[in-house]
A and B are shown apart, each in its own frame.
Chain A
């Protein structure tokens, strides 16, 4: 009998009291538009294309990002400048498909494509979700301030032949017998 009373009334009253106390507890709600949440620096949000320290586009149109992309939202076309540098003729990301997985950033050999903490990308028209290179290209270097692909890579361009890159040995003449 005592147990019945405890189960039917006392435990219910305890529950009521514990829930009632929540009236004086501060709500967990973050009132988002007025109260912006803290975004972590490595948050995977809107995608940008960065430039190297000399102000040139970092992207070399290698297509690795497009291959890595699980939803195939990246499209680009390679072109070449007179000095031998590669660059994307167009670079297009369909953000209505993008899932912000960051695989493109991981695949990129030149640190060109990077994800940023910005996430407020809503649009009224679906067509506006497709971003071109001009929309994504920023003036800065992004997360990697000193990295310049053509300065460290062995590829020859105008003004920098093979063996002249940073930390690069002179090319060995494999047909010569001399040491």
Chain B
């Protein structure tokens, strides 16, 4: 029972603990990296290198008053932050972290992840709607439109990978890449579209239009505080980890790597590099306007992903005859 196999309680516990721990540590990692990229130092006071900044933040956020505004719709207000955590954590169930590490080997892994990403949109929508606040409403409106439209290209950009490997199962996809080459080469356009759609889907900067501080305060979580805000916050970082893991699995061979290091380590390295890349995006690229984001998606990314799928399909058909 307590072996490191797919789906044992030990594995599930380890994955859950690691993922949430990493998501919490990202608060510190992101602030530190952003600091370096802005020629500052970032938080370096609490503990060695500021590593315990997370502990300090957690103590603060847990001891804050758990406030629900009197004008808010109480049920959905409390429900919203739970949905995002649950939806993102559920997605981790199908991700293969190593040859024998994972929770489920689902035959519909990619579809499951996409479905959970769609559920995550409900969290943002409900959070904004139930707050009864104009900024929150604007934020949730934007979030709904943005997430629904970017899910389209996210799904279509993955179909190239599915067509190449012939499976929706993420573990099969990784194993197919171990035999051939990593899918980032044959599916480079799909990779770029998935990267952009992933940023928009986890509404990170530069596509954090639902919560754009400078325009609409904090968007959909304007009225949230304490641990409920913390769950939105950690949920966002969990989404970041999820997107990085997905890119690693789908395009960069998952745990595939030279044998002198354990496979999980390779997975962590690749995912970590993508997390750092997402933080670099935040540090470097300014936020587009809302209509620019929408027209960029529908007028540029959608045709591009369709063409990518078409060309991929044609090549597969012509080679396999």
Contacts and interface: CB of A to CB of B under 8 A. Distances in A.
B40 A16 contact: no
A121 interface: no
Interface of chain B, helix or strand or loop or mixed? helix
B41 A19 contact: no
B284 A16 contact: yes
Nearest to A31: B41
Interface in A84-116: none
B280 A28 contact: no
A6 to B, nearest CB: 14
B39 A15 contact: no
Given A16-B284, A26-B39, 16 more contacts: A12-B285, A15-B284, A16-B281, A18-B284, A19-B283, A19-B284, A20-B280, A20-B284, A22-B39, A27-B35, A27-B36, A27-B39, A28-B39, A28-B40, A29-B40, A31-B41
Interface in B91-125: none
A49 B127 CA distance: 60
Given A12-B285, A16-B281, A19-B283, A27 B37 contact: no
Contacts of B41: 27, 29, 31
Interface of B: 35-41, 280-281, 283-285, 296, 300
B63 to A, nearest CB: 23
Interface residues of A, number: 15
A25 B39 contact: yes
A15 B285 contact: yes
Contacts of A15: 284-285
Contacts of B281: 16
12 contacts: A8-B296, A8-B300, A19-B283, A20-B280, A22-B36, A23-B36, A25-B39, A26-B39, A27-B36, A27-B41, A28-B40, A29-B41
Interface of A: 8, 12, 15-16, 18-20, 22-23, 25-29, 31
Nearest to A16: B284
Contacts of B38: 22
A22 B35 contact: no
B308 to A, nearest CB: 15
A23 B284 CA distance: 12
Contacts of A28: 39-40
A23 B37 contact: yes
A18 B284 CA distance: 8
B300 to A, nearest CB: 7
A12 to B, nearest CB: 6
B194 to A, nearest CB: 15
Nearest to A4: B300
Contacts of A23: 36-37
Contacts of A20: 37, 280, 284
Contact of A19 (B35, B280, B300): B280
A22 B280 CA distance: 11
B40 A27 contact: yes
A29 B41 CA distance: 6
